[in-house]
A = this chain, B = another copy of it.
Amino acid sequence: MANIAIVGATGLVGRTMLRVLQERNIQVTSLRLLASARSAGEIIAWNGNEYTVEELTEDSFDSIDYALFSAGGSISKQYAPIAAKNGCIVIDNSSAWRMDPDVPLVVPEVNPQSAHEHKGIIANPNCSTIQLVVALKPLHMHFGLTRVIVSTYQTPSGAGQKGIDHLLDEINGIAPTKRISSHKVAYNTVFHAFPVGELFTEEEIKIKNETRKIMGIPNLPIAVTCVRVPILGGHGESVIIHTEKSCDTNDIRNILNISSGIVVVDNPLMEEYPTAADSEHRDEVFVGRIRRDDSSENSFHLWITADNLRKGAATNAVQILQLLEEQQ
């Protein structure tokens, strides 16, 4: 039984968090929905009741046990410490705290023990990182990863509702009122934003740094290119792994098949493989196209998909909450 606040309750991830809390029968004593002044007053139905969205203030966290944040980095930077000081456990979906050495960055299938080392704030990793590490961790445990190469195929919904609006407005021939790229997004390939002076996008830097932190391998060699494509439903990732130990595709398939949170879909003869659309509304990570890469020794191809709003954000945050509740 817990008193729960959602910060950013009207956003795409916030609304998905509400859905996942209900689906997973989280025992909620009280629920507080928080957002900016602009959204305050909105009514949101949840689990048979109606809730009025309140404006986020410094007093919002009184008697709250868990605050799930998904309202952007600057809100998290400002309000997560206030919530934590109030004795509330923050599970933060923004990038604000992820690389802070005092903040655990948690994927329950990968490093559940880290969740218990929190000092009030736990960070939820980036969507494209979560689906990657869920698949990589068991393979690392068994075969030892020496290099990871990733090219992503990401839905604009990673940028929230405005990403979907930019895409669908353009598809419908409307000039987008909100943009996530200076380029056309519909029927096109674009990249995420570049931090000033960087050749890598912020998304690419996140995958590198977060994967290393979650897996506990500070020097894991990772090559990454992130691309936004006009898809919905989830992200795809074309991955190559190099392993320390010699193994074959059956070994990899067998390990993935018995690993938590993973569904192997890999039957080329029947054209069965994971797709972004098939991942939508699902909480698992899907892996297929498991093939030996003969361009290097001990090298293998994987194709990984997941619903970026669920396992890539809301579901993972609620799983962290469940992890903490179970330990009490």
Q: Which residues of A contact B (CB under 8 A)?
A: 147-149, 151, 153, 171, 181-184, 187-191, 193-194, 196-201, 221-223, 225, 227, 229-233, 236, 238, 240, 249, 268-269, 271, 273, 275-278, 289-291, 293-296, 299, 301, 303, 305
Query: Whole-angstrom distance between the alpha carbons of A230 and B219 in the complex?
Result: 36
Contact B301 A184 (CB under 8 A): no
Specify which of B222, B223, B276 is in contact with A188 (CB 8 Å cutoff).
B276
Q: How far is the CA of A276 from the CA of B249 in the complex (A)?
A: 33
Asked whether, in the complex, the Cβ of B295 is within 8 Å of the Cβ of A240, the reply is no
Contact B189 A231 (CB under 8 A): yes
Cross-chain pairs A/B with CB under 8 angstroms, 21 sampled: A149-B149, A151-B238, A153-B153, A153-B189, A153-B227, A171-B171, A183-B271, A183-B277, A184-B277, A187-B231, A187-B232, A187-B233, A188-B233, A193-B271, A199-B291, A201-B268, A222-B295, A223-B294, A227-B236, A229-B229, A229-B230
Q: Which of A189, A223, A305 has the most CB of B within 10 A?
A: A189
B231 in contact with A200 (CB, 8 Å): no
Which residue of B has the minimal Cβ distance to A236? B189
Most buried by B among A181, A230, A238, A290: A238
> In the complex, are the beta carbons of B187 and A295 less than 8 A apart?
no
**Among B187, B227, B295, which residue has its beta carbon within 8 angstroms of that of A230?**
B187
Question: Can you name 14 extra interface pairs (CB under 8 A) apart from A221-B295, A223-B299?
Answer: A147-B296, A149-B240, A184-B277, A187-B277, A189-B277, A191-B273, A194-B269, A199-B289, A200-B291, A201-B268, A223-B293, A225-B301, A229-B230, A238-B238
State how many angstroms separate the Cβ of A68 from the closest Cβ of chain B: 28
Give chain B nearest CB distance to A221 CB in angstroms: 4
Q: Contacts A147-B296, A268-B194, A291-B199 hold; do A305 and B223 have CB atoms under 8 A apart?
A: no
Which of B182, B193, B223 is the one whose CB lies under 8 Å from A295?
B223
CA distance A9 to B227 in the complex (A): 35
- Which residue on chain B has the smallest CB distance to residue A290? B199
Report Cα–Cα, A277/B273, bound state, in Å: 27
Complex Cα spacing A171 to B249, Å: 37
Q: Is the CB of B301 within 8 A of A223?
A: yes
- Establish whether residues A151 and B151, one from each chain, have CB atoms under 8 Å apart when the complex forms: yes
User: Please, how many angstroms separate the alpha-carbon atoms of A305 and B229 in the complex?
Assistant: 14
CA distance A299 to B268 in the complex (A): 31
| Complex Cα–Cα for A171 and B276 (A) | 16
- Contact B271 A153, beta carbon cutoff 8 Å: no
Q: Which of B148, B183, B191, B238 contacts A289 (CB 8 A)?
A: B191
In the bound complex, residues from chain B placing their C-beta under 8 Å from that of A151 are: 151, 225, 238
| 7 tightest A-B CB contacts, nearest first | A221-B295, A151-B151, A151-B238, A188-B277, A194-B268, A223-B295, A187-B232
A200 to nearest B CB, angstroms?
7
Query: Are A296 and B191 also in contact (CB < 8 A) when A151-B151, A229-B153, A230-B229 are?
Result: no
